[in-house]
Structure formats: C-alpha cells, structure tokens
Amino acid sequence: MTENERAARKKKIMHAVMWVVLLLLFICFVSPFILVVINVFKTKADITTNPLAIVGKHGFTMKNFPEAMKKMNFWRVFANSAIITISATLLTIVVSSMASFVIVRNQKWKACALLFSAMVASMVIPFQVLMVPLVSVYGGTLGVLNHRLTLILMHVGFSVSMATFMFHGAIHTNIPLELEEAALIDGCTRWQTYWQIVFPLLTPTIATVAIIDAMAFWNDYLLPSLVLTKKELYTIPIATQAFYGTYSTDIGLVMAALLLAMLPILILYVFLQRFIVEGVTSGAVKG
C-alpha cells in the first residue's frame, strides 16, 4: 500500500468517525425534544407506565393542550412573555448597534476604549453574583420590582455587552469608512448615515443577536422569578410551575406546556437561522 493510499484510507476513517460522533451528539440533543412530542399526546397513566412508547394503551389524546392552557392561563402569560421578549430584544439591538458604531468610529477616544473594555470584562461576571444585590436594591430600596419595564431594562442591561461585542466586530470589519464619507459628502447627517447606510448592512448580525437574545429572554426563568411575583405578570417559564404539585405532577400537562412554550422560538429560529452562521463569523477575520 502506497503512502497516498494510506493517507486516503486514514482520511476516510477519520471522516467516518466524525460522522458517527456527530450522529451520537445529534441523538443526545434531539432525544429530549422527541420525548416531549411523543408523550404530549398520551395520558398521565400511559406516560408513567411507558414513556418511550410512541402510542399509549389509551390511544392518542389532545386533552393535554386545552387543560394546560387553562391551568397556566396561557394567553395571558404568552402575552407577557411576548411583550418582554420583543421589547428587550429590540432595545438591545438598537442600543448595542449604536454604541458599537460610536466606539468603532471614535477609537482614538480613551472613553470609548475604556467603555468597550468594561463591556467585554462584564461578560465574564456570572448573574448569580448579582442576584442578591439586584433584589435588595431594586426591590427593597427602590421598590420597582413587579413591573414589566423593570424586567425589560434588566434584560437589556445584561445582554448589551455581548451584543455590542458582536456589532463591534461586524462594523469594524465589514463596513468601509468610505461608504460613510460618501454619504456625508452627499449631504447625509451622521444620524441618517447610521440608519440608512450602516444599519441595513448589519442584517446578519442583527438576526444573530435577535435569535440569541430572544431565546435567552423567552426561556429565562431565574431573573423573571426574582422580579415578577404577581401572577398576572408571570411569563411562560414561571407559569409552568403551576403543574408541579407537592405530591404529584401531571406530566402530560407539563409536556403540553413545554411544547407550547417552545413553538414560538422554534418558528423564529426557522426564519432567521440562515443568518446565524454569517452573523457569528462576521468580524472574525480581517480582510
């Protein structure tokens, strides 16, 4: 066997091993979702008896969905989650993209360099470190908890650093300064240049930030549970606690609630997923 044949054989083996590993990882990640889909159409007894069966002994049922929606007051908590997620995501995109534009185009200012360094440094601080001061200051001292606006602004504050970092790389690498200079020569103000020239070119990064932050805000349980204690303000993750009793839990209703909670964010991902790779790699390579 020649050297080239050995190299080709080794390459094929490595390729096959890679596909096997990827397939195993895919099964590990997808299997919980498949279990939810399978069990949501079964009764509580069938789920407890054989959760892996595709169809239970009592057959196919749709009762879990209306019961789950009624028990968790689905449309109210859905509206709360939608308002908070959409508002926080839009604010994060606008604030972080504008901040990135100012930082990139004024790199000689020490204030901009310090601000960007502080944002990058803040990304390594875990949220759990800030939990107790957050509740004591905003709840005990200021008394501004139990408001959607408070939660929205907190979401923006915790997510703007990562978004600014991503927009910074995209603007620095992919948007030539000559485009802005040409716009200024044509009579555009700085504000018009940003919204009409720079912002439309950031579409891949905007889509990436939107899907990452929307998923984080929609699925977040810890921060809303600290800020929102009134039932009329509950988001979907908090409302699912209604299905967990002290002595028993109706797994079928839990599965239905989880599937209802997942659908909106899955739909958003389907529409924006083609931008994600381009947005994440935007600004990674200078050229």
pLDDT in tens, 163-172: 999 898 888 8
- Alpha-carbon separation of residue 74 from 193, 265, 287 (angstroms): 43, 16, 49
* Residue-wise pLDDT tens digits, 53-65: 877 777 788 888 8
pLDDT for the residue numbered 247? 54
Round the average pLDDT of the chain to a whole number and report it. 84
Q: Which residue has the higher pLDDT, 274 or 161?
A: 161
pLDDT winner (highest mean) among 4-13, 97-106, 118-127: 97-106
Percent of the chain at pLDDT exceeding 70: 93
CB proximity list for 178: less than 8 A, separation 6 or greater: none
pLDDT for the residue numbered 245? 63
Question: Would you say 282 and 205 are in contact if contact means Cβ atoms under 8 Å apart?
Answer: yes
pTM of the model: 0.81
